[in-house]
Structure 1
Amino acid sequence: MFYKELTMRPFVKDVHAISILADTSIRNAIKIMDASTIGICIITGSDNEFLDIITDGDVRRAMLNELSFDASIKELHLLKRSIRQTSPITKDINESNDVLLQVMLELDLMHIPLLDQFGRAVDVALLSHLIEDKIPSVEAVVMAGGFGTRLRPLTENTPKPMLPVGNRPLMERTIEQLRASGVNDVNITTHYLPDQIIKHFGDGKDYGVKFNYIHEDKPLGTAGALKLIEKTAEHLLVVNGDILTNINYATMIEYHKNFKADLTIGVRKYEIDVPYGVVKTKNEKVKSLIEKPKYSFFVNAGIYLLNSSVVDHIPTNKRYDMTELIEKLVNNDYNVVSFPIREYWLDIGRIEDYAQAQEIVKRDFET
């Protein structure tokens, strides 16, 4: 670990820009959080007194607890307190960097609000400003070997990750998101029409990353190919090659670290509207009738972050899917956690999904 010799104060130039009142909606808090470079909000009272700090991880935990983004930050604050049963750690504005660093390392904190004599947050100590290597080493794995059967005839002569979305291949957008999140080493698993991918991307230098191609002589599933990758990083970030998303993978890495997870699954809320009245029965007796209910579930989003040691559980040279690996880890009491994706996400698995991706990119993404 490398310590920075000098950290200029303040850590955060404008604390007011990330400060919100308790009646602010979670949705508006997210906008403020995303606009900042540090991904947090400070909750203040009517007299600007400090109440709490809200992080990206807190918002995602609220999603898992079915808290609407239209709810107030106060409700998120109460949920957070009910889960953790602890008050936020704060320090005096005059506290030394050495003490701040010691507390952060001992308590595994990324941020500590710094208060003045009136209890107002006037700065936020950031671990990233005190040490050089707060983010663990991560290599990405983009699964690009599938046949894309459901997208035929589009994939008859083109591998699915190379289908144009907007004016460039889908996989270019995936690589761009990885690079923007600080992930520069990318493994590409190939099987179907690999030469098109290799010819287009080369060694990755033109895209600001370093590529390593892993060719599967036979399809090895969504996890089997990981066994072919040399272990050089602490973690592997595995992304299906047919996903369009604007997720900041750095938030997933921090989430994984905070939960001390062995494997983190990206999940997305999926809702089903039943167009009929649902009748619940016990034998012949009707117990209830619910008119046109809506059911919501968290579904597998095809994005995984795992400790490299987890690869030891994958069999060699055998088809093995992530679902099998996850089930094995859960059954053996490994720490498998879910990371709810609040950003845009689309699985381009069908013709209609591909058409939707074109509309989304035209409307929301820079092309």
Structure 2
Amino acid sequence: MSVVMTQKDAFWKRAILPPNSTIQDAIRNLNDVSIRITLVLDEDGRLLGTISDGDIRRALLKGLDLNSPIATVVHRNALVVPPEWGRETVMQLMVANKIQQIPVVNSDHYVVGLHLWEEITTQPDRTNLMVIMAGGKGTRLRPHTENCPKPMLPVAGKPMLEHIIDRAKNDGFKHFIIAIHYLGHMIQDYFGNGQKFGVQIDYLSEDYPLGTAGALSLINPQPESPFIVTNGDVITDISYGELLDFHIRNNVPATMAVRIHEWQNPFGVVKIEGLNIVGFEEKPIIRSHINAGVYALDHTALKMLKSDEYCDMPTLFQRLHDNAGRIMAYPMHEPWLDVGRVEDLKQANIEMNK
């Protein structure tokens, strides 16, 4: 995610002191800036350590006076995080260590930001669009989908599509476009304009299936900023906001969330060269990255699409790669389930009901 600052980008920089400052300087800084931490940097901007109210109190109890150098109280092994760490990971680190501030430093140990508990726990609203592909027929889920669109199948008491919207809403997304085709009226009847869910929902109605990317050509007006696209049958705990921030930070036309998939060969593998046996491997595990069905796209990626032309997402990514030369993967580790088969639906209900 992008680095979380205080109210203004430059505000946290007021909490910086040089190493030749005194304890009195640190007290004044803590009082003036009011974020309960002071950052001690060398002349090049590298972090030497931090000072908190507790550090000051302990120093005074030891008999140090206000004119003592801060070198005597600075906490030199301060907990820090790199810029690429996401919001939820930073929150977990704060909770585990019972702290409310964590400096953000780059690989050269330069301070580039500051995470504050009161801000990182407040998810800002995002103006970015989120598109949900919900037009498929779900043939592998029959008979469940004979009279119900796949994204409306209930999981733990509510439609899959509602789980996706709820998750994205918690990440600050407020504007959704749902691409519909098969039994799309049932989705519109349930969600309406989104008002009862506290969001705005618009619809793309496909006259015929256009694929996971082709439907994006129907968006009018087209988005002017990066946006998220997800399949309507993917249940996951991914942070859509962190995916979007990762995408923006890397300045690429398209980012695909990927997962590691493991498959164990049920047989012992014989390695041969010609007719000679050169080794054995008993039931090896094969690992590969798979498409998780969640994407972040720059609005310029839509230029690769033709109106009303079928296009799946891998094809769009290939076009972008051939044209721009750089697309990215977002490795995800969060719980994830592609609800494409009857057994997947059963498993989703088991997991969500837990």
Q: 2:191 aligns with which of 201, 221, 226?
A: 201
TM-score normalised to the size of structure 1?
0.68
Aligned residues: 273
Shift of 1:334: 3.4
Corresponding position: 1:307 with 2:298: yes
CA deviation after TM superposition for structure 1 residue 52, in Å? 4.4
Q: 1:174 Cα deviation (Å)?
A: 0.5
Which one-letter code corresponds to 2:343 in the other structure? E
- The residue type equivalent to 1:227 in the other structure is S
User: Where does residue 213 of structure 1 map in the other structure?
Assistant: 203
- Cα distance in 1 for residues equivalent to 2:147 and 2:110: 57
Q: For residues 154-200 of structure 1, give each alpha carbon's deviation from its aligned partner in whole angstroms, at most 9, with x where no partner exists.
A: 00000000000011111111010111111111000000001100000
What is aligned with 1:290? 281
Is 1:245 aligned to residue 236 of structure 2?
Answer: yes
1:275 alignment partner in structure 2? 266
Identity of aligned residues (%): 33
Report the Cα offset of residue 232 of structure 1. Answer: 3.1
1:159 aligns with 149
Q: Does 1:231 align with 2:222?
A: yes
The residue number in structure 1 matching 2:53 is none
Are residue 349 (structure 1) and residue 330 (structure 2) matched? no
Greater Rg over alpha carbons, structure:
2
Q: CA deviation at 1:329?
A: 1.4
Shift in alpha-carbon separation, 1:244–1:56, aligned structure 2, 3 A: farther
The one-letter code of the counterpart of 1:89 is Y
In the alignment, which residue of structure 2 is the partner of 1:138? 128
Pairwise CA distance, 1:134: 9.3
Q: 1:161 to 1:280 in 2, by over 3 A?
A: same
Q: What amino acid is the match of 1:241?
A: G
Q: Is the 8 A contact 1:136 1:234 kept in 2?
A: no
Match of 2:252 among 252, 261, 273: 261
Q: Please tell me whether the aligned partners of residues 127 and 175 of structure 2 are also in contact (alpha carbons under 8 angstroms).
A: no
Give the aligned residue type for 2:152. M
In structure 2, relative to structure 1, the CA distance for the partners of 1:52 and 1:283 (3 Å cut) is farther
Q: Secondary structure at the match of 2:143?
A: coil
Q: Deviations over 1:236-255 (max 9, x none)?
A: 21000001112221111111
Separation in 2, partners of 1:196, 1:59: 35
Q: Which residue of 2 aligns with 1:68?
A: none
In the alignment, what sits opposite 1:49?
Answer: 77
Q: State the shift of 1:59 in Å.
A: 11
After TM superposition, where is structure 1 displaced by more than 3 Å over at least 4 residues in a row? 2-13, 54-60, 133-137
1:188-243 Cα shifts (integer Å, max 9, x gaps): 00000011000000000111111111000010011001011021340121000001
| Counterpart Cα distance in 2 of 1:252 and 1:220 | 25
Q: Helix, strand or coil: the match of 1:238?
A: strand
Superimposed CA distance per residue, residues 15-63 of structure 1 (whole angstroms, 9 cap, x where no aligned partner): 9xxxxxxxxxxxxxxxxxxxxxxxxxxxxxxx76137424664899xxx
1:56-95 matches, cutoff 5 A: 57=85, 86-90=107-111
Shift of 1:12: 7.2
The answer to whether the 8 Å contact 2:229/2:296 transfers is yes
Structure 1 residue 258: Cα displacement? 1.9
Instruction: Please give the alpha-carbon distance, in whole angstroms, between the structure 2 residues aligned to 1:138 and 1:204.
Output: 16
Cα RMSD for the two superposed structures: 3.1
Work out the CA distance in 2 between the residues paired with 1:282 and 1:135. 60
The structural deviation recorded for 1:349 is 0.3
* CA distance in structure 2 between the aligned counterparts of 1:349 and 1:304, rounded to whole angstroms: 18
Structure 1: stretches of 5+ with no match in the other structure = 16-46, 61-80, 91-108, 113-123
Which residue of the other structure, out of 158, 165, 168, is the alignment partner of 1:178? 168
Structure 2 unmatched runs, 5+: 1-6, 13-31, 40-74, 89-104
By how many angstroms is 1:287 displaced? Answer: 3.1
* More displaced stretch, 49-58 vs 251-260: 49-58
Does residue 188 in structure 1 map to residue 178 in structure 2? Answer: yes
Aligned twin of 2:351: 360
How many angstroms apart in 1 are the aligned matches of 2:297 and 2:9?
29
